[in-house]
Chains A and B, each alone.
Chain A
């Protein structure tokens, strides 16, 4: 167990629908990163939050949004889902700065 908790582990939904992925960082970690990993692809950075505020944005689609709450957990919202959104979504957390980042086990999203 890495200490980073992602729920749900698996999610199957239809095109056009909206889903919410949840991430609870390790205790004491202030920074949360979200990544998308499609089949046989690398880790595409989506967005980073630090202590509740958006810190950096990557290749995140307008249909996707995220937030980090006061208790530091984060949610990634994916709307108007398309078949191509099927992927593993990982979050990672760190204390911030130059510290090792730890990944959660991911949420496997399948859009049918």
Chain B
């Protein structure tokens, strides 16, 4: 969506390495930032989200960081595994989605 820009569009990493996806947003009122994972032919699933009153949130191998001043937030996946291969979407509080990042984890 035009309100949320997402980079990179594709990302290939070696199994065990880290993957980082960045998104920038334009709406200053945005206070909630979810990340969705979509496997081929399936529905997007919420994997982690962050609210604007915190700068970082972790859930096992997944973390999200938020920089409100710069208006950007990032998804970090550590110790990547083949099952992490999917398309990842960021969004803002109005559920305007970024264009998606296709992540491929090479075994």
Contact = CB atoms under 8 A, between A and B. Distances in A.
| B is bound to A | yes
B69 to A, nearest CB: 20
A45 B1 contact: yes
Contacts of B100: 42-43
Contacts of B51: 98
Nearest to A106: B43
Interface stretch (B15-23, B58-66, B78-86, B91-99): B91-99
Contact of B95 (A42, A92, A106): A92
A42 B34 contact: no
A57 to B, nearest CB: 12
Given A42-B97, A42-B100, A56-B94, A98 B32 contact: yes
B1 to A, nearest CB: 6
Contacts of A43: 44, 89, 97, 100
A2 B34 contact: no
Nearest to A48: B95
A33 B99 CA distance: 17
A105 B89 contact: no
A92 B45 CA distance: 10
B93 A101 contact: no
B1 A102 contact: no
A103 B45 contact: yes
A90 B44 contact: yes
Given A2-B45, A98-B32, A103-B43, 4 more contacts: A45-B1, A48-B95, A98-B31, A101-B95
